[in-house]
Amino acid sequence: MKKRSLLLTRGSLAVLLVIALSVTAFIGWKLSNDQVVKAPAEIEDYLFWEAKELTDFKLTAADNRTLGPNELKGKWSFIFFGYTHCPDVCPLTLMVLGQAFKILEKNPAVFPEVQGIFVSVDPKRDTPESLKEYVSYFNGRFIGVTGSTAELDDFSRQMSAMYTIHPKEAGQSDDTYLVTHNSTVFLVDPQGRLHGRFPPPQTPKEIAEVFMKIRMFYNERSNKRWGVF
């Protein structure tokens, strides 16, 4: 404590103030001069070069509900592809995403804006009803969906999240085949556009913190478009 009080003399405070002011002035000058708003470096890698509109897909959730482009609008959707007969990577990722939601839950302004969507690419073994039970175990804000092979192919193609269902291995029962799937957590923005992605391996803190920055940048940019800046 003694050291600190020695450091904080009037002179050093003045120097700090000058530095802070010039940094602020520089940032302001940069912002007003930059024609194109560049994403901050720490979120650049998580963003798609251009947000991509998702069109005309249809997936099925429990209780006869469907998930289409309209259900994505007005929310930030975290989308993950997998299957429930996946004992390692899928529960791990859903747990990480569930914990990220726990962090976001502490921010009451943000949490109502987020939803988690688990897309099962294994409709032969996963039904919308079984998926509802499955995802609610990880977080109450998760929705489980699946669809016909054609519907899943269409949606995963739009999301660039390819998957492969492998033939069962010799000597195995019909129900023990494996599925290769993309284990990226995709981020769709409130306009229903594929906006960003969290490649594996993710951590709860990383997802929560990067999302907050992406959201802030998105909101700032929307404001700028309306002439607030």
Partner 1 sequence: MGGFLKILFSLALGFVASVASADSVNIQILDPWVQAAPPNVKVLAAYLEIKNNGEKPQLLVNVSSPAFDQVGIHRSVMHGNMAHMEHLKELTIPPHASVTLKPGGLHFMLMDAKKPLRVGDSVPMTLTFKNGDKVAVAATVRAGQMEGMGDHQHMDHSEHMNHNH
Q: 51 vs 92, which CB is nearer to partner 1? A: 92
DSSP state of 169: P
CB of 207 to partner 1, least distance (A): 11
CB of 57 to partner 1, least distance (A): 21
Give residues with Cβ within 8 angstroms of 109, minimum separation 6: none
Q: 146 vs 184, which CB is nearer to partner 1? A: 184
CB of 159 to partner 1, least distance (A): 12
CB 80 within 8 A of CB 94: yes
From the number of C-beta atoms within 10 Å of its C-beta (0-12, 13-18, 19+), residue 170 rates as exposed
Please give the single-letter amino acid code of residue 225: R
CB of 9 to partner 1, least distance (A): 38
How far apart CA 221 and CA 154 sit, in angstroms, is 30
State how far Cα 6 lies from the chain centre.
46
Q: 12 vs 176, which CB is nearer to partner 1? A: 176
In DSSP terms, which residues pair with 47 in a beta bridge? 196
In DSSP terms, which residues pair with 81 in a beta bridge? 119
How far apart CA 27 and CA 21 sit, in angstroms, is 10
What are the residues binding partner 1 (CB under 8 A)? 84-89, 91-92, 95-96, 99, 130, 133-134, 136-138, 162, 164, 169, 176, 178-184, 199-201, 203-205
CB of 117 to partner 1, least distance (A): 17
Q: 24 vs 160, which CB is nearer to partner 1? A: 160
